[in-house]
Amino acid sequence: MINSTQFLSFILAGYNDTGPLKFLFFILITVLYISILFANTLLIVVICMERRLHKPMYLFLCILFVNDLYGSTALFPALMINLVSDDHSISTMYCYLQIFCIYSYGAIEFSNLAVMSYDRYLAICYPLQYNVLMTPKMVCISSCVIWLLICIHNIILLSLTIHLKLCGNVIEKVYCDNFLVVKLACSAPDITVKNIYGLCGLVLFLAVPLFTIIFSYIKILTICLKSSTETRQKAVSTCTPHLASLLNFSFGCLINLLQSRFDKPLQTFPPVLQTIISVYFLMCQPLLNPVVYGVRMSKIRQACRNILPVRLYTKT
């Protein structure tokens, strides 16, 4: 058996020989990454500079945009380099770092969306007590706890992966995936403890946020059915961007999960489409969030008009 420390690098087999098209893909990916950096950074700056936006809902959005920058940066630079390179290997150290960043991004994103759904539940169902129940201090504490727990969890998860004995170093994706690295383990007993720990993490960072989201929206729906038309319209306007972001991210994670665990049904798809599926939640989510929140929320649009020297938004 070969110890994983003997491998100096992993080979990312998700890249296909596209010939001259690789430069077109490189340009498209570069434009997409620059757009993500610009849009998310712009909204972070706007929220930080505009005092009227220093409220829980917008602070959660700011944290969401920071996490989107974090997750996309874990993918795009390496992706762009590998697109134009003939060598699709990645050092073991960078591979494990990428796993840590991408897994942290996913867990933080879903957990933050769950807390945001609970925030909307408090705002709609308890409007008079909202300012007491949800304060900027509570936003900071909850976000710090989420980030800390997820980072600790992924450090332990990664330490278990690093100590696995591997019999190969080929990963069938364009980025490092912890599950695919584990599949390279030489023997099943080596991954028993890791599987148990991974299951516990799945319950903590998937089941708990999912329960929070379902609970919050059931309560919101119940209140809306009993309220006036004006209240329902306000609730729909408030929740629509969040639902769009939540559904997009959940869809991206689901198809990525199915591709990693059950790749046979997707083998009939063209290689380029398989690659897009695998990176969907890392590409589209960081681009969608600034769009749905920046366009749909009037206070953010107004803040952009007040701060930016050139008006990027037209008056409605």
Ordered by start, the domain boundaries in the chain are 4-265+272-307
The rounded percent of the chain whose pLDDT value lies above 70 is 89
Q: What is the mean pLDDT of the chain?
A: 85
Tell whether the model's pLDDT for residue 315 goes beyond 50. Answer: no
Q: pLDDT at position 113, please?
A: 95
Q: pLDDT at position 254, please?
A: 85
Residue-wise pLDDT tens digits, 37-53: 999 999 999 999 888 88
Pick the range with the lowest mean pLDDT from 105-114, 157-166, 195-204, 231-240: 195-204
**Hey, what CATH topology would domain 4-265+272-307 get?**
Rhopdopsin 7-helix transmembrane proteins (1.20.1070)
Other CB atoms within 10 Å distance of the CB of residue 283: 21
Pick the range with the lowest mean pLDDT from 223-227, 238-242, 301-305: 301-305
Q: pLDDT at position 263, please?
A: 58
- Residue 290: pLDDT band (50, 70, 90) is very high
List of residues 6+ apart from 272 with CB closer than 8 A: 16, 18
Of 226 and 69, more confident:
69
Beta bridge partners of 12: 171
Pick the range with the lowest mean pLDDT from 105-114, 177-186, 282-291: 177-186
Q: pLDDT at position 6, please?
A: 61
